[in-house]
Amino acid sequence: MTHLADAAKAPPTAEQSPLASLRRLVAATEIDLRLFGMLVALAVILLAFNVLSGGKFLRPVNMVTLAVQATTVAILATGMVLVIVSRNIDLSVGSLTGFVAMSYALLMTDWLPRVVGLGPDFPFRWAVALAIGIAIGAGFGALQGFIIAYGRVPSFVVTLGGLLSIRGAVWYLSNGAAVTGLDPTFQLLGGGPRGSIGGELTWLVGIAACLGLVFLLVNGRRQRRRFGFPVRPMWAEVLIAVVGCLIVLGLAAFANMNYLPPALASEYARQHGIPEPPGGLLIPMGLPYPIVILIGVTIVMTWIARRRRFGRYVYAYGGNPEAAELGGINTRWTIMKTFILMGILASLAAAVAVGRLNAATLDVGESYELYVIAAAVVGGTSFAGGIGTIPGAVLGAFVMQSLAYGLAFLGVNSPGQNVAAGIVLVLAVAFDSWNRRRGT
Amino acid sequence: MDDTTLERSGASATASAMSAATVPLVEMRNINVSFGGVHAVRDASIDLHRGEVVGLVGHNGAGKTTLMRALSGAHPADTGEILIEGRPVTIRNPRDAKQYGIETIYQNLALADNLDAPANVFLGRELTTLFGELDDSAMESETRKVMQRLNPNFTRFKQPVVSLSGGQRQSVAIARAVYFNAKILIMDEPTAALGPAETAQVHALIRQLKEEGIGIFLISHDIHDVFDLSDRISVMYQGRIVETVERGTVTTDDILTMIIAGRRPGELGPEELAAQ
């Protein structure tokens, strides 16, 4: 045992290849290797489609569309990670998204104006609708979570029931009709030409993210210094900060290369009395609102998972339910909370979906449960429990959406996309479990 | 060696003489536990004093672990009384037990394998910052301190405990129990998975904790372990406590007889009674 440890510590002589030095560099930065690998995989997929499409794929307009299409599934996947980590499953997310989506539409077209008297002139109608929608989502989540946690009915069964009956309830909400005509502010949540934060704010978001990264690095280092723990070498810290900032600012610049459509740009020019230059006015749109929402959700969910007691308990329960119970954790309430959180996320995803469509149809969110579970699993979440990260699941959603969008871009029809998605799902998990076995 | 042994037994004799006059740290009276149609613990009574080690021996399924799980809150007793320092208490779950200063090292260690050592040590009792965020650095620092005392060779504070050796995992489980200033410690087979060196380490720790005035229930299959460490030994057989004896008043053979036959040495079993 000690001999082995000594051998491992001895300077590697055979491992002076560039690959080994790269491995040491990565080790010094203490990056999550799995996450890093997924980023590489995503980049490879995007580049491959770019080559196959003759360089047309990687244009800002395509990438922004792709990202907006991935947001609903990605938002839901952040919650599904916690549900799967704590050894449960939620099959009802798609139906719940559909139910809340229909509720939003009805709130704005019917319930709020007719019952409460909030007409289109009321400025915060969108916020009232959003708040009620979130309450509905949380309520359904709490109900299912209660039956699972306290009634001890398997989550697969409870949420399978939810999948069927909540989808059925959508029909009763609107008597089978699609509902259109939302509040114009609410529509912005879905993105689109007007639903973006604009060039300046996008730069601000990029700079804030960069400063946030530096703050986290400095704070982490200070914390470890305070207790005299080993810290990363300084060059590794600087490397992470520089590379991280370059990526964040690069993405902001990329988002800002997406310009307002000419018609809207001319309208803007007329309104503001700006003379239109020849070739049209180029107004950067920046990040669409759904992406901003997704960034916010990812940060908050990561914070909950890693920095809050609740998150720690979710992972502890997933790792060993008995240990969590014996540790004095209120495991029932912890499980119930994961489903409440899932319901709230379904409401946010529904807001994006409804905003994009400017309508609620009967099939909003249909089959989402499958895409969401696929995203979480491709992102490294294990059904054995206790393992999975939120950024991983978001990346997983982007990988799956890139594949679908890329194939569609090349003219593959939707059954063909499904064939590819299924194969990639299985391959990704097979590779992951092979990698895990090799690692331990 | 002989001198120290004499001294120690002398000290414990006075300790038990003194504590006989004082209130026991723990008193469990007429405890009954059933589950799944099995009456696992029948009318068992046992007590424990400050600075005392009470060994609990018996066959598999004799009810040792079940009796202790009633005290640790893992599986509350159906009937019976528990008194902590003379006050009747109700223990319905592990949280209750911890409130009374009862800490348990379970045989299967009860670790969350996917979490690191500090997260396991503080599981359910995390240190947080002013804003309610987990203070991982503080927890790591405290874990390093307690490990310095328990197992100075322990260095893997950031790895999930699944990647640790049996002895290291045991250290994590022990650290969790001793960190929170336990008054009463339940150790269920603390050395079953350990090599000789690590076993000696655990033995030294038990003696040290005893010196500090902690009362310890020690469950073990190893009669020699129990004889080595315990002040008193309780033998369980088919859910009952056959007898509680002072160490030194019986031989290992007597204890073995009680474990196997379920009766006191010299006492006649049902078969012999029938033969008469």
DSSP collapsed to 3 states, chain B: CHHHHHHHHHHHHHHHHHHHHCCCCEEEEEEEEEECCEEEEEEEEEEECCCCEEEEECCCCCCHHHHHHHHHCCCCCCEEEEEECCEEECCCCHHHHHHCCEEEECCCCCCCCCCEHHHHHCCCCCCECCCCCECHHHHHHHHHHHHHHHCCCCCCCCCEHHHCCHHHHHHHHHHHHHHCCCCEEEEECCCCCCCHHHHHHHHHHHHHHHHCCCEEEEECCCHHHHHHHCCEEEEEECCEEEEEEECCCCCHHHHHHHHHHCCCCCCCCHHHHHHC
Q: Which residues contact A436 (CB under 8 A, 6 or more apart)?
A: none
Cα–Cα distances (Å) from A134 to A159, A249, B18, B54, in that order, read: 19, 32, 64, 56
Q: What is the pLDDT of residue A159?
A: 98
Facing A307 at nearest CB: one of B123, B125, B134:
B134
B263/B240 Cα distance (integer angstroms):
10
Cα–Cα distances (Å) from B124 to A132, A228, A330, A421, B116, in that order, read: 34, 26, 9, 40, 14
DSSP A66: H
| Strand intervals (E) in A100-235 | 179-180
Secondary structure class of A288 (helix, strand, coil)? strand
Contact B121, B177 (CB under 8 A): no
- B112 touches A: beta carbon within 8 Å: yes
- A328 touches B: beta carbon within 8 Å: yes
Q: Is the dihedral of CA B236, B241, B243, B244 positive or negative?
A: positive
With CB atoms and an 8 Å threshold, state whether A227 touches B113: no
Q: What is the pLDDT of residue A12?
A: 43
Secondary structure class of A364 (helix, strand, coil)? coil
A196/A285 Cα distance (integer angstroms):
6
Q: Considering the entire predicted model, what is its pTM?
A: 0.89
- Give chain B's domain count: 1
Encode pLDDT of B237-269 as tens digits: 999 998 899 988 888 888 888 888 887 766 665
Q: What is the pLDDT of residue B271?
A: 60
Q: How confident is the model at residue A30 (pLDDT cuts 50, 70, 90)?
A: confident
CATH number at residue B46: 3.40.50.300
Q: Which residues contact A301 (CB under 8 A, 6 or more apart)?
A: A78, A79, A81, A82, A390
* A390 to chain B, closest Cα gap in Å: 16
B52/B209 Cα distance (integer angstroms):
10
Is it the case that residue A170 has pLDDT exceeding 50?
yes
B231/B244 Cα distance (integer angstroms):
10
Q: What is the pLDDT of residue B11?
A: 44
With CB atoms and an 8 Å threshold, state whether B113 touches A386: yes
Facing B124 at nearest CB: one of A229, A322, A328:
A328
Start and end residues for every CATH 1.10.3470 domain found in chain A: 33-195+288-439
Angle ∠(B165,A33,A206) on CA atoms, nearest 5: 135
| Beta-carbon count within 10 A of A234 CB | 9
A220/B52 Cα distance (integer angstroms):
44
Q: Which residues of B are less than 8 Å from A302 in CB distance?
A: none
Facing A386 at nearest CB: one of B74, B114, B165:
B114
Q: Which residues contact A85 (CB under 8 A, 6 or more apart)?
A: A314, A315, A318, A381, A385, A386, A387, A388
Q: Which residues of A are less than 8 Å from B93 in CB distance?
A: 328
Is residue B128 assigned to a domain?
A: no
With CB atoms and an 8 Å threshold, state whether B134 touches A308: yes
Interface of B with A in 62-91 (CB under 8 A): 72, 74
With CB atoms and an 8 Å threshold, state whether A315 touches B112: yes
* A223 to chain B, closest Cα gap in Å: 6
- B75: nearest CA partner in chain A: A326
Facing A320 at nearest CB: one of B110, B134, B163:
B110
- A319: nearest CA partner in chain B: B112
Is residue B157 assigned to a domain?
A: no
* A227 to chain B, closest Cα gap in Å: 6
Q: What is the pLDDT of residue B46?
A: 95
Residue B254 tokens read as 């007597």
- A228: nearest CA partner in chain B: B141
Residue A216 tokens read as 């986290």
Q: Which residues contact B20 (CB under 8 A, 6 or more apart)?
A: none
Is residue B41 assigned to a domain?
A: yes
Helix (H) / strand (E) element for A359: namely strand A359-360
Mutate to test the interface with B, among A227, A300, A312 (most CBs of B within 10 A): A312
B225/A174 Cα distance (integer angstroms):
73
Encode pLDDT of A339-369 as tens digits: 999 999 999 999 999 999 999 999 999 999 9
Q: Mean pLDDT lowest for which of A1-15, A137-151, A422-436?
A: A1-15
With CB atoms and an 8 Å threshold, state whether B94 touches A227: no
Contact A265, A283 (CB under 8 A): yes
Q: Which amino acid is at A277?
A: P
With CB atoms and an 8 Å threshold, state whether A315 touches B106: no
Residue A308 tokens read as 């809050």
With CB atoms and an 8 Å threshold, state whether B115 touches A315: yes
Q: How confident is the model at residue A136 (pLDDT cuts 50, 70, 90)?
A: very high
Is residue B120 assigned to a domain?
A: no
Q: Which residues of A are less than 8 Å from B101 in CB distance?
A: none
Q: Which residues of A are less than 8 Å from B119 in CB distance?
A: 312, 316
Specify which residues B26 forms β-bridges with.
Answer: B48, B84
* B37 to chain A, closest Cα gap in Å: 21
Q: What is the pLDDT of residue A14?
A: 45
Nearest to A105 by CA among A192, A165, A170: A170
Q: Which residues of A are less than 8 Å from B172 in CB distance?
A: none
* A87 to chain B, closest Cα gap in Å: 13
With CB atoms and an 8 Å threshold, state whether B74 touches A320: no
Q: Which fold has domain A33-195+288-439?
A: ABC transporter involved in vitamin B12 uptake, BtuC (1.10.3470)
Ranges of chain B with pLDDT below 50: 1-20
B188/A134 Cα distance (integer angstroms):
48
Specify which residues B215 forms β-bridges with.
Answer: B184
With CB atoms and an 8 Å threshold, state whether A324 touches B114: no
Cα–Cα distances (Å) from B262 to A154, A275, B226, B227, in that order, read: 43, 102, 18, 18
- A1 touches B: beta carbon within 8 Å: yes
Is it the case that residue A211 has pLDDT exceeding 70?
yes
Q: Which residues of B are less than 8 Å from A315 in CB distance?
A: 112, 114-115
Phi and psi torsions of A284, nearest 5°: -65, 135
* A145 to chain B, closest Cα gap in Å: 21
- A224 touches B: beta carbon within 8 Å: yes
Facing B114 at nearest CB: one of A1, A308, A319:
A319
Q: Cβ-count burial of A271 within 10 angstroms (0-12 exposed, 13-18 middle, 19+ buried)?
A: exposed
- A437 touches B: beta carbon within 8 Å: no
- A308 touches B: beta carbon within 8 Å: yes
- B110 touches A: beta carbon within 8 Å: yes
Encode pLDDT of A389-430 as tens digits: 999 999 999 999 999 999 999 999 999 999 999 999 999 888
Please state the ipTM of this predicted complex: 0.86
| Domain carrying residue B39 | 2-101+181-275
Is residue B230 assigned to a domain?
A: yes
Facing B94 at nearest CB: one of A224, A318, A327:
A327
A11/B251 Cα distance (integer angstroms):
56
* A306 to chain B, closest Cα gap in Å: 8
- A10 touches B: beta carbon within 8 Å: no
DSSP A370: H
- A224: nearest CA partner in chain B: B137
* Average pLDDT score over residue span A247-265: 89
With CB atoms and an 8 Å threshold, state whether B141 touches A227: yes
Q: Which residues of A are less than 8 Å from B113 in CB distance?
A: 319-320, 386
Q: How confident is the model at residue A7 (pLDDT cuts 50, 70, 90)?
A: very low
Q: Which residues of A are less than 8 Å from B128 in CB distance?
A: 309
Contact B194, B202 (CB under 8 A): yes
Helix (H) / strand (E) element for A360: namely strand A359-360
With CB atoms and an 8 Å threshold, state whether A309 touches B125: no
| Beta-carbon count within 10 A of A244 CB | 17
Q: What is the pLDDT of residue A20?
A: 78
B276/B273 Cα distance (integer angstroms):
5
Q: What is the mean pLDDT of chain A?
A: 90
| Beta-carbon count within 10 A of A78 CB | 31
